[in-house]
Amino acid sequence: MSDPASNPESSESSRQHPSRRRFLKGGAALSAALVAGAGLPLAGRAQPAPDDPSKVLGGPLRPYGERSPFEPQGRVTQAKPAERGGSFTPLDETLGIITPSALHYVVQRGGRPVIDPAKHRLLVSGLVDRPVILTVEELKRLPSTSHILFLECSGNSRIGRPPTPKNVQGTHGLTACSEWTGVPLALLLREAGVQPGATWIVAEGADATGNERSLPLAKAMDDVLVAYGQNGEALRPDNGYPLRLIVPGWEGNVNVKWLRRLTAVDRPYMTRMESTGHASLMRDGTARQFSFVMEAKSVITFPSGGQQLGGPGFYEIQGLAWSGRGLVRRVEVSTDDGKTWQDARLQEPVLPRAHTRFRLDWPWDGREAVLQSRCTDETGYVQPTPAEVVKVRGRNFVYFNNAIQSWRVAADGSVHHVQA
């Protein structure tokens, strides 16, 4: 399937929870949709389902599964040119806490490189006693571990930049959650013998981006992974095949993809990504640099912008919450624009630095409502309102916006993004 249009609003109709709508509107809507092919991707229309699938021979076995052609489009790409930009996760379509790899958001600035794992090498050098060079096979022989962790681009939910995205895929789709498998970076650094003078690590990828990033040695020795696995198989090429850094809870940009070089150094190297980009402007005009941690954040994914409720009645509000500092302790939901709050149910397992799904039963009375969610993490930190964020940071920043998101449900059931 080709990439969706570069305008994230253009496929809004495919993201209105068709199954949920059909369920609420009754069976008639379902058969109407199948007959007319409404909202179905082309593949689904080209191969109409038989009236009774038990009466015909089904398709052949295949080596690698594909999802049903009746499922919606998936990621939406905002890129210009096509090699540089982001591909947004349809958070309103995902279920549970794991993002399927094919829907994991992607940010790349120099295209997706083609890397032959047999030729790829990882070099660990700099202020070390014994520089190490490893093939991918050699790396895979080392003691490994797996962790379920969210990743979020610090440019997710950027404010003050037109065009304003109108749905949760556009406002929050630069985050996703996978099970990552790899070798602890600490093990490689111990093997290389980091010298006392080293305080930072510079990580470099093998793509054409120039996405070098400096990482404090303390974090590198703590919980960082050199990952080769994602959700039970090799990393996707989009997400860093064959090797990438996974830096739990820290901004997406330091999670260097297509990793090929780690250099122990005695200071941050002020690379392009950490000096011009990814430094965050504050209200007084100074810039905050090396902030790294993605603070607690949450968003309601249903009902959310662009969706359509079928009428008054029962709805299960759902969303995702996460914190770069550890566990999500509490998510509260308001249906009256922040006047009153109710505790949402948290889906077990609640894991540190992973997406946490929350749910709240909502009998909608059919009147206009403004829905919000607010996350508290294990440090006691509470997700701020947009006004609180602007008070500290002004309106001239791009990165690290974790403010509360509001969705307005109109009396006709349409759901709208509320500009913060």
List C-alpha distances in Å: 136 to 139, 178, 258.
5, 21, 12
- CB 258 → ligand MTE: shortest distance, Å? 5
Q: Which does 371 bind (CB under 5 to 8 A by kind): Mo ion, ligand MTE, none?
A: none
**Residue 133, burial from CB neighbour count under 10 angstroms (0-12, 13-18, 19+):** exposed
Q: Which does 18 bind (CB under 5 to 8 A by kind): ligand MTE, Mo ion, none?
A: none
User: Residue 417: enclosing H or E segment and its boundaries?
Assistant: strand 415-417
**Residue 386, burial from CB neighbour count under 10 angstroms (0-12, 13-18, 19+):** middle
Instruction: Please tell me the distance from the alpha carbon of residue 254 to that of residue 239, in angstroms, as a whole number.
Output: 13
- CB 332 → ligand MTE: shortest distance, Å? 28
Instruction: Please tell me the distance from the alpha carbon of residue 2 to that of residue 178, in angstroms, as a whole number.
Output: 24
For position 253 contacting Mo ion by CB under 5 A, the verdict is yes
For position 242 contacting Mo ion by CB under 5 A, the verdict is no
- CB 361 → ligand MTE: shortest distance, Å? 33
For position 184 contacting Mo ion by CB under 5 A, the verdict is no
- CB 89 → ligand MTE: shortest distance, Å? 8
Task: Tell me the window of 12-20, 101-109, 187-195, 312-320 that interacts with Mo ion (CB under 5 A).
Answer: 101-109
List C-alpha distances in Å: 91 to 27, 95, 154, 305.
26, 8, 17, 12
Q: Which does 329 bind (CB under 5 to 8 A by kind): Mo ion, ligand MTE, none?
A: none
Instruction: Please tell me the distance from the alpha carbon of residue 390 to that of residue 17, in angstroms, as a whole number.
Output: 33
Taking the least distance from each CB to ligand MTE, the nearer of 8 and 205 is 205
Q: Are 47 and 56 in contact (CB under 8 A)?
A: no
Q: How far apart are the first and last CA of the chain?
A: 35
Taking the least distance from each CB to ligand MTE, the nearer of 86 and 319 is 86
Taking the least distance from each CB to ligand MTE, the nearer of 105 and 315 is 105
Q: How many residues does the chain have?
A: 420
- CB 86 → ligand MTE: shortest distance, Å? 8
Task: Tell me the window of 33-41, 246-254, 397-405, 408-416 that interacts with Mo ion (CB under 5 A).
Answer: 246-254
Task: Tell me the window of 56-64, 140-148, 149-157, 318-326 that interacts with Mo ion (CB under 5 A).
Answer: 149-157
Q: Which does 207 bind (CB under 5 to 8 A by kind): Mo ion, ligand MTE, none?
A: ligand MTE
- CB 69 → ligand MTE: shortest distance, Å? 25
Q: Which does 256 bind (CB under 5 to 8 A by kind): ligand MTE, Mo ion, none?
A: ligand MTE
What distance separates the 2 farthest-apart alpha carbons in the chain? 72
- CB 330 → ligand MTE: shortest distance, Å? 27
Taking the least distance from each CB to ligand MTE, the nearer of 115 and 188 is 115
- CB 245 → Mo ion: shortest distance, Å? 13
For position 78 contacting Mo ion by CB under 5 A, the verdict is no
List C-alpha distances in Å: 336 to 184, 301, 339, 342, 364.
46, 17, 6, 11, 11
Taking the least distance from each CB to ligand MTE, the nearer of 18 and 86 is 86
Six token digits for residue 32: 């109407």
| Alpha helices for 201-275 (secondary structure H) | 217-220, 272-275
Angle at Cα 387 formed by Cα 164 and Cα 336, nearest 5°? 85
Taking the least distance from each CB to ligand MTE, the nearer of 109 and 374 is 109
Among 136, 149, 153, 220, the residue binding Mo ion under the rule CB under 5 A is: 153
Six token digits for residue 253: 């940009």
Q: Where along the sequence are the contacts to ligand MTE (CB under 6 A)?
A: 104-109, 151, 153, 205, 207, 209, 211, 239-240, 252-253, 255-258
Count CB-CB contacts under 10 A for residue 193.
14
Q: Are 400 and 291 in contact (CB under 8 A)?
A: yes
Task: Tell me the window of 10-18, 189-197, 247-255, 367-375 that interacts with Mo ion (CB under 5 A).
Answer: 247-255
Among 90, 205, 248, 252, the residue binding Mo ion under the rule CB under 5 A is: 252
Task: Name the site residues for Mo ion (rule: CB under 5 A).
Answer: 107, 153, 252-253
